[in-house]
Structure 1
Protein backbone atom coordinates (compact mmCIF):
# COMPACT_ATOMS: atom_id res chain seq x y z
CA UNK A 1 0.00 0.00 0.00
CA UNK A 2 1.42 3.33 -1.07
CA UNK A 3 1.17 6.30 1.27
CA UNK A 4 1.58 10.04 1.45
CA UNK A 5 5.39 9.82 1.52
CA UNK A 6 5.41 7.94 -1.81
CA UNK A 7 4.07 10.95 -3.71
CA UNK A 8 6.94 12.78 -5.43
CA UNK A 9 7.29 15.92 -7.47
CA UNK A 10 7.55 13.86 -10.65
CA UNK A 11 4.26 12.13 -9.88
CA UNK A 12 2.64 15.49 -9.16
CA UNK A 13 3.95 16.87 -12.47
CA UNK A 14 2.71 13.83 -14.40
CA UNK A 15 -0.72 13.92 -12.75
CA UNK A 16 -1.90 16.88 -14.83
CA UNK A 17 -0.77 15.20 -18.03
CA UNK A 18 -1.48 11.46 -17.77
CA UNK A 19 -2.84 9.35 -14.90
CA UNK A 20 -1.43 6.19 -16.54
CA UNK A 21 2.06 7.72 -16.45
CA UNK A 22 1.59 8.39 -12.71
CA UNK A 23 0.87 4.71 -12.06
CA UNK A 24 3.75 3.50 -14.27
CA UNK A 25 6.27 5.84 -12.59
CA UNK A 26 5.10 4.94 -9.10
CA UNK A 27 5.56 1.26 -9.89
CA UNK A 28 9.14 1.81 -11.08
CA UNK A 29 8.36 1.18 -14.73
CA UNK A 30 11.08 3.29 -16.28
CA UNK A 31 10.47 5.31 -19.47
CA UNK A 32 12.88 5.20 -22.40
CA UNK A 33 15.90 7.01 -20.91
CA UNK A 34 17.30 7.71 -24.37
CA UNK A 35 14.12 9.41 -25.53
CA UNK A 36 15.22 12.76 -27.03
CA UNK A 37 12.89 14.83 -24.85
CA UNK A 38 14.14 13.20 -21.65
CA UNK A 39 17.76 13.76 -22.69
CA UNK A 40 17.04 17.37 -23.69
CA UNK A 41 15.38 18.06 -20.33
CA UNK A 42 18.43 16.70 -18.48
CA UNK A 43 20.80 18.81 -20.57
CA UNK A 44 18.83 22.03 -20.08
CA UNK A 45 18.70 21.38 -16.34
CA UNK A 46 22.46 20.72 -16.21
CA UNK A 47 23.60 23.80 -18.12
CA UNK A 48 21.11 26.39 -16.83
CA UNK A 49 21.57 28.68 -13.84
CA UNK A 50 25.09 27.58 -12.91
CA UNK A 51 25.50 30.16 -10.13
CA UNK A 52 22.61 28.81 -8.08
CA UNK A 53 22.49 25.88 -5.71
CA UNK A 54 20.93 23.00 -7.61
CA UNK A 55 19.35 19.61 -6.96
CA UNK A 56 18.46 19.91 -3.30
CA UNK A 57 17.03 16.64 -1.95
CA UNK A 58 14.43 17.10 0.76
CA UNK A 59 12.25 14.18 1.87
CA UNK A 60 10.50 13.01 -1.33
CA UNK A 61 11.33 16.24 -3.16
CA UNK A 62 14.21 17.21 -5.46
CA UNK A 63 14.31 20.98 -5.88
CA UNK A 64 16.03 22.10 -9.09
CA UNK A 65 17.30 25.44 -7.82
CA UNK A 66 17.53 27.38 -4.56
CA UNK A 67 18.60 30.99 -4.20
CA UNK A 68 18.43 33.91 -1.80
CA UNK A 69 15.96 36.48 -3.10
CA UNK A 70 16.51 39.66 -1.06
CA UNK A 71 16.63 37.70 2.20
CA UNK A 72 13.82 35.32 1.24
CA UNK A 73 14.14 31.72 0.15
CA UNK A 74 13.33 31.17 -3.52
CA UNK A 75 12.93 27.64 -4.89
CA UNK A 76 12.84 27.12 -8.60
CA UNK A 77 11.81 24.47 -11.05
CA UNK A 78 13.56 24.41 -14.44
CA UNK A 79 11.55 23.22 -17.42
CA UNK A 80 12.32 22.77 -21.10
CA UNK A 81 9.17 24.55 -22.21
CA UNK A 82 6.10 26.30 -20.84
CA UNK A 83 3.80 24.01 -22.87
CA UNK A 84 2.90 22.01 -19.74
CA UNK A 85 2.69 25.11 -17.55
CA UNK A 86 -0.14 23.83 -15.34
CA UNK A 87 1.73 20.63 -14.45
CA UNK A 88 4.97 22.56 -13.78
CA UNK A 89 3.09 25.01 -11.52
CA UNK A 90 1.44 22.14 -9.62
CA UNK A 91 4.83 20.46 -9.10
CA UNK A 92 6.32 23.67 -7.69
CA UNK A 93 3.27 24.24 -5.48
CA UNK A 94 3.83 20.73 -4.11
CA UNK A 95 7.43 21.65 -3.23
CA UNK A 96 6.29 24.85 -1.52
CA UNK A 97 3.67 22.84 0.39
CA UNK A 98 6.26 20.27 1.54
CA UNK A 99 8.58 23.04 2.71
CA UNK A 100 5.72 24.75 4.56
CA UNK A 101 4.86 21.45 6.29
CA UNK A 102 8.39 21.57 7.69
CA UNK A 103 8.18 25.20 8.83
CA UNK A 104 9.98 26.71 5.84
CA UNK A 105 8.32 29.60 4.02
CA UNK A 106 9.48 30.08 0.45
CA UNK A 107 8.54 31.70 -2.80
CA UNK A 108 8.57 29.70 -6.01
CA UNK A 109 9.62 30.47 -9.53
CA UNK A 110 9.32 28.48 -12.73
CA UNK A 111 12.24 28.88 -15.12
CA UNK A 112 12.04 28.25 -18.87
CA UNK A 113 15.61 29.00 -20.01
CA UNK A 114 15.02 28.23 -23.69
CA UNK A 115 12.17 30.79 -23.70
CA UNK A 116 13.98 33.21 -21.38
CA UNK A 117 10.89 33.24 -19.21
CA UNK A 118 10.25 33.19 -15.44
CA UNK A 119 6.92 32.84 -13.65
CA UNK A 120 6.42 33.51 -9.93
CA UNK A 121 4.45 30.93 -7.95
CA UNK A 122 2.95 31.52 -4.51
CA UNK A 123 1.25 28.97 -2.26
CA UNK A 124 -2.11 30.35 -1.11
CA UNK A 125 -4.43 28.48 1.25
CA UNK A 126 -6.75 27.72 -1.69
CA UNK A 127 -3.88 26.32 -3.79
CA UNK A 128 -2.62 24.37 -0.77
CA UNK A 129 -6.02 22.65 -0.46
CA UNK A 130 -5.77 21.77 -4.15
CA UNK A 131 -2.31 20.25 -3.66
CA UNK A 132 -3.59 18.10 -0.78
CA UNK A 133 -6.47 16.92 -2.96
CA UNK A 134 -4.08 16.00 -5.79
CA UNK A 135 -1.82 14.10 -3.36
CA UNK A 136 -4.82 12.05 -2.24
CA UNK A 137 -5.90 11.36 -5.82
CA UNK A 138 -2.36 10.25 -6.74
CA UNK A 139 -2.33 7.88 -3.77
CA UNK A 140 -5.59 6.39 -5.08
CA UNK A 141 -4.11 5.98 -8.57
CA UNK A 142 -0.89 4.31 -7.42
CA UNK A 143 -2.81 1.94 -5.14
CA UNK A 144 -4.82 0.61 -8.10
CA UNK A 145 -4.09 -3.03 -9.02
CA UNK A 146 -3.23 -2.08 -12.58
CA UNK A 147 -2.50 1.05 -14.57
CA UNK A 148 -5.42 3.19 -15.72
CA UNK A 149 -6.51 2.44 -19.29
CA UNK A 150 -4.52 4.06 -22.09
CA UNK A 151 -6.02 7.24 -23.52
CA UNK A 152 -4.31 8.83 -26.50
CA UNK A 153 -3.55 12.50 -25.84
CA UNK A 154 -1.35 15.02 -27.70
CA UNK A 155 1.43 14.51 -25.12
CA UNK A 156 1.79 10.83 -26.17
CA UNK A 157 3.90 11.69 -29.23
CA UNK A 158 6.69 13.10 -27.01
CA UNK A 159 6.38 10.68 -24.09
CA UNK A 160 9.12 8.31 -22.93
CA UNK A 161 6.41 5.70 -22.20
CA UNK A 162 5.06 5.83 -25.77
CA UNK A 163 6.40 2.41 -26.77
CA UNK A 164 5.03 0.86 -23.58
CA UNK A 165 1.53 2.27 -24.03
CA UNK A 166 1.17 1.93 -27.79
CA UNK A 167 2.43 -1.63 -28.17
Structure 2
Protein backbone atom coordinates (compact mmCIF):
# COMPACT_ATOMS: atom_id res chain seq x y z
CA UNK A 1 0.00 0.00 0.00
CA UNK A 2 2.86 2.42 0.73
CA UNK A 3 4.12 2.39 -2.86
CA UNK A 4 0.65 3.35 -4.07
CA UNK A 5 0.55 6.38 -1.78
CA UNK A 6 3.95 7.70 -2.81
CA UNK A 7 2.72 8.71 -6.23
CA UNK A 8 0.39 11.24 -4.60
CA UNK A 9 1.74 14.48 -3.20
CA UNK A 10 0.16 16.28 -0.28
CA UNK A 11 -0.71 19.25 -2.47
CA UNK A 12 -2.73 16.93 -4.70
CA UNK A 13 -4.85 15.89 -1.73
CA UNK A 14 -5.40 19.57 -0.98
CA UNK A 15 -6.34 20.37 -4.58
CA UNK A 16 -8.66 17.35 -4.68
CA UNK A 17 -10.67 18.90 -1.88
CA UNK A 18 -10.66 22.39 -3.41
CA UNK A 19 -10.97 22.02 -7.18
CA UNK A 20 -10.80 18.93 -9.40
CA UNK A 21 -9.84 21.05 -12.44
CA UNK A 22 -6.89 22.60 -10.61
CA UNK A 23 -5.82 19.11 -9.54
CA UNK A 24 -5.96 17.79 -13.12
CA UNK A 25 -3.99 20.75 -14.49
CA UNK A 26 -1.34 20.34 -11.78
CA UNK A 27 -1.10 16.58 -12.37
CA UNK A 28 -0.55 17.20 -16.08
CA UNK A 29 2.37 19.56 -15.58
CA UNK A 30 0.65 22.94 -15.70
CA UNK A 31 2.02 24.52 -12.54
CA UNK A 32 0.89 28.10 -12.11
CA UNK A 33 1.89 28.45 -8.46
CA UNK A 34 5.34 29.84 -9.18
CA UNK A 35 3.67 33.05 -10.41
CA UNK A 36 1.19 33.37 -7.56
CA UNK A 37 1.44 36.14 -4.98
CA UNK A 38 -0.65 34.03 -2.60
CA UNK A 39 1.85 31.17 -2.80
CA UNK A 40 4.68 33.62 -2.13
CA UNK A 41 2.83 34.93 0.93
CA UNK A 42 2.53 31.37 2.18
CA UNK A 43 6.24 30.71 1.70
CA UNK A 44 7.18 33.83 3.65
CA UNK A 45 4.77 32.94 6.46
CA UNK A 46 6.13 29.40 6.54
CA UNK A 47 9.73 30.63 6.75
CA UNK A 48 9.01 32.86 9.74
CA UNK A 49 6.43 30.83 11.65
CA UNK A 50 7.56 28.36 14.30
CA UNK A 51 11.28 28.98 13.77
CA UNK A 52 12.36 26.54 16.48
CA UNK A 53 10.92 23.48 14.74
CA UNK A 54 12.56 21.37 12.07
CA UNK A 55 10.95 22.36 8.79
CA UNK A 56 10.28 20.78 5.43
CA UNK A 57 10.41 17.16 6.55
CA UNK A 58 9.99 14.61 3.78
CA UNK A 59 7.66 11.67 4.32
CA UNK A 60 8.28 8.76 2.03
CA UNK A 61 9.21 10.53 -1.19
CA UNK A 62 6.70 13.06 -2.47
CA UNK A 63 5.09 14.32 0.73
CA UNK A 64 6.72 17.13 2.68
CA UNK A 65 5.30 18.41 5.97
CA UNK A 66 5.95 21.95 7.12
CA UNK A 67 7.27 21.04 10.57
CA UNK A 68 7.50 18.08 12.91
CA UNK A 69 8.50 17.43 16.50
CA UNK A 70 8.23 14.48 18.90
CA UNK A 71 4.45 14.45 19.07
CA UNK A 72 3.10 16.64 16.29
CA UNK A 73 3.11 17.15 12.55
CA UNK A 74 2.38 20.79 11.75
CA UNK A 75 1.14 22.50 8.61
CA UNK A 76 1.28 26.29 8.50
CA UNK A 77 -1.40 27.95 6.41
CA UNK A 78 -2.24 31.57 5.60
CA UNK A 79 -5.95 31.28 6.31
CA UNK A 80 -8.46 28.80 7.67
CA UNK A 81 -10.71 29.50 4.69
CA UNK A 82 -9.74 26.12 3.19
CA UNK A 83 -9.69 24.22 6.47
CA UNK A 84 -11.46 21.20 4.94
CA UNK A 85 -8.72 20.86 2.30
CA UNK A 86 -6.00 21.57 4.88
CA UNK A 87 -7.45 18.81 7.06
CA UNK A 88 -7.44 16.27 4.23
CA UNK A 89 -3.83 17.12 3.41
CA UNK A 90 -2.86 16.67 7.08
CA UNK A 91 -4.77 13.40 7.32
CA UNK A 92 -2.83 12.16 4.30
CA UNK A 93 0.47 12.99 6.01
CA UNK A 94 -0.65 11.22 9.18
CA UNK A 95 -1.74 8.27 7.05
CA UNK A 96 1.67 8.07 5.36
CA UNK A 97 3.41 8.17 8.72
CA UNK A 98 1.13 5.45 10.10
CA UNK A 99 1.89 3.27 7.05
CA UNK A 100 5.53 3.60 8.07
CA UNK A 101 4.88 2.71 11.73
CA UNK A 102 4.85 6.27 13.10
CA UNK A 103 1.77 7.56 14.90
CA UNK A 104 1.43 11.28 15.47
CA UNK A 105 -1.27 13.89 15.69
CA UNK A 106 -1.50 16.87 13.40
CA UNK A 107 -1.79 20.59 13.96
CA UNK A 108 -3.06 23.01 11.35
CA UNK A 109 -1.63 26.38 12.28
CA UNK A 110 -3.08 29.65 11.05
CA UNK A 111 -0.65 32.18 12.60
CA UNK A 112 -2.24 35.26 11.06
CA UNK A 113 -5.53 34.24 12.70
CA UNK A 114 -3.84 33.04 15.90
CA UNK A 115 -5.65 29.74 15.52
CA UNK A 116 -4.54 26.10 15.69
CA UNK A 117 -6.70 23.08 14.86
CA UNK A 118 -5.85 19.57 16.05
CA UNK A 119 -6.28 16.72 13.56
CA UNK A 120 -6.25 13.03 14.44
CA UNK A 121 -6.27 9.90 12.31
CA UNK A 122 -9.03 7.47 13.24
CA UNK A 123 -10.71 4.71 11.22
CA UNK A 124 -13.16 7.11 9.56
CA UNK A 125 -10.30 9.43 8.61
CA UNK A 126 -8.35 6.51 7.13
CA UNK A 127 -11.35 5.64 4.96
CA UNK A 128 -11.66 9.31 3.93
CA UNK A 129 -7.98 9.43 2.93
CA UNK A 130 -8.17 6.18 0.97
CA UNK A 131 -11.28 7.37 -0.88
CA UNK A 132 -9.58 10.69 -1.69
CA UNK A 133 -6.47 8.86 -2.92
CA UNK A 134 -8.65 6.86 -5.28
CA UNK A 135 -10.33 10.10 -6.39
CA UNK A 136 -6.96 11.79 -7.02
CA UNK A 137 -5.92 8.89 -9.25
CA UNK A 138 -9.22 8.96 -11.15
CA UNK A 139 -8.96 12.70 -11.81
CA UNK A 140 -5.41 12.29 -13.12
CA UNK A 141 -6.34 9.49 -15.51
CA UNK A 142 -9.49 11.21 -16.79
CA UNK A 143 -10.13 14.21 -18.98
CA UNK A 144 -9.89 17.84 -17.92
CA UNK A 145 -12.85 18.60 -15.64
CA UNK A 146 -15.09 21.44 -16.79
CA UNK A 147 -14.63 24.86 -15.27
CA UNK A 148 -16.85 25.62 -12.29
CA UNK A 149 -16.74 29.00 -10.63
CA UNK A 150 -15.92 28.41 -6.96
CA UNK A 151 -15.46 30.81 -4.04
CA UNK A 152 -11.70 30.16 -4.16
CA UNK A 153 -11.29 31.19 -7.81
CA UNK A 154 -10.56 34.86 -7.06
CA UNK A 155 -7.23 34.02 -5.37
CA UNK A 156 -6.32 30.93 -7.39
CA UNK A 157 -3.11 30.81 -9.41
CA UNK A 158 -5.05 29.08 -12.21
CA UNK A 159 -7.84 31.69 -12.37
CA UNK A 160 -6.82 33.42 -15.59
CA UNK A 161 -6.26 30.11 -17.33
CA UNK A 162 -9.60 28.65 -16.27
CA UNK A 163 -11.60 31.79 -16.89
CA UNK A 164 -10.11 32.40 -20.32
CA UNK A 165 -12.91 30.28 -21.78
CA UNK A 166 -10.56 28.59 -24.21
CA UNK A 167 -10.46 25.23 -22.47
CA UNK A 168 -13.63 23.70 -21.10
CA UNK A 169 -16.91 25.43 -20.53
CA UNK A 170 -18.51 26.39 -17.27
CA UNK A 171 -20.71 23.70 -15.77
CA UNK A 172 -24.29 24.61 -15.16
Whether TM-score is above 0.5 comes out as yes
The TM-score with structure 1 as length reference comes to 0.92
Match in the other structure for 2:67: 65
How many residue pairs get aligned? The number is 160
Shift of 1:33: 2.0
The TM-score with structure 2 as length reference comes to 0.89
List structure 1 runs of 4+ shifted beyond 6 angstroms: none
Kindly indicate which of the two structures has a greater share of residues assigned to helix: 2
Q: Is the 8 A contact 2:107 2:119 kept in 1?
A: yes
Distance in 2 between residues matched to 1:118 and 1:153, nearest whole Å: 25
| Runs of at least 5 residues in structure 1 that lack an aligned partner in the other structure | none
Distance in 2 between residues matched to 1:162 and 1:153, nearest whole Å: 10
Q: Is the 8 A contact 2:5 2:96 kept in 1?
A: no
1:1-167 alignment, distance < 5 Å: 4-59=5-60, 60-68=62-70, 73-144=71-142, 146-167=143-164
| Runs of at least 5 residues in structure 2 that lack an aligned partner in the other structure | 165-172
CA shift digits 1:104-129 (9 cap, x unpaired): 11111110011111111100011101
CA RMSD of aligned residues (A): 1.1
Shift of 1:4: 4.2
Distance in 2 between residues matched to 1:27 and 1:137, nearest whole Å: 15
